[in-house]
Amino acid sequence: MNMIVAADTNWGIGKDGQLLAHLSGDLKYFKEKTLGKVVVMGRKTLESLPGGKPLSGRTNIVLTSDPDFDREGCIPVHSMEELREKCSEYPHDQVMIIGGATLYNALMEECESLFITRIYKEFSADAYIKNPDMLPQYKVVWKSEMKEEHGIQYRFFEYKRER
């Protein structure tokens, strides 16, 4: 499995159930990286999507403890074990963890690649990911040039697990 996330200078990723910034270049990159694939998210991240609806053109797997969860276009899983089992039904390079903090932090070390958009700004946040630079098994294998929107600078990084 792999993950894709946008994080600020302090590795903040969200506040009050929403993203920290809306950068159209990042949303485009997210779409490119996930279209046609399997996206895996926590129930709160599903609620944060437009209309609380799953992402079109992708297989949507949603983690929830609610046994009655039944949402059109979503495949529910009810534990991390069930999530891993379900993900193992797909080729590993097709599975993208798309948040939120609970899933990123529980599954980061099981990911092959981490697609991280680094936003060079400090936001007020209440959701964070672990700092991947503190995990020795991950190395940056690619980074984009610096981008800028609304005076906010950001850059795409790809980390790969080496062992």
Ligand X SMILES: NC(=O)c1ccc[n+]([C@@H]2O[C@H](COP(=O)([O-])OP(=O)(O)OC[C@H]3O[C@@H](n4cnc5c(N)ncnc54)[C@H](OP(=O)(O)O)[C@@H]3O)[C@@H](O)[C@H]2O)c1
Positions in the binding site for ligand X (CB under 6 A):
5-6, 13-14, 17-19, 41-45, 48, 63-66, 78-80, 98-103, 127
Q: What angle do CA 95, 96, 97 make, to 5 degrees?
A: 125
Least separation in angstroms between CB 140 and ligand X: 18
Q: Which is nearer to ligand X, 72 or 162 (CB)?
A: 72
Smallest distance, Å, CB 82 to ligand X? 8
| Helix, strand or coil, per DSSP, at residue 38 | strand
> What residues contact 138, with CB distance under 8 A and at least 6 apart?
114, 132, 159, 160, 161, 162
Residue nearer to ligand X on the CB measure, 47 or 148: 47
Read off the amino acid at residue 13.
I
Is 90 or 128 the residue whose CB approaches ligand X more closely? 128
Amino acid at position 116, single letter:
I
Nearer CB in complex with ligand X: 68/162: 68
Q: Which of 20, 49, 15 is nearest to 119 (CA)?
A: 20
Q: CB of 100: closest distance to ligand X in angstroms?
A: 2
Minimum CB distance to ligand X, residue 50 (Å) = 12
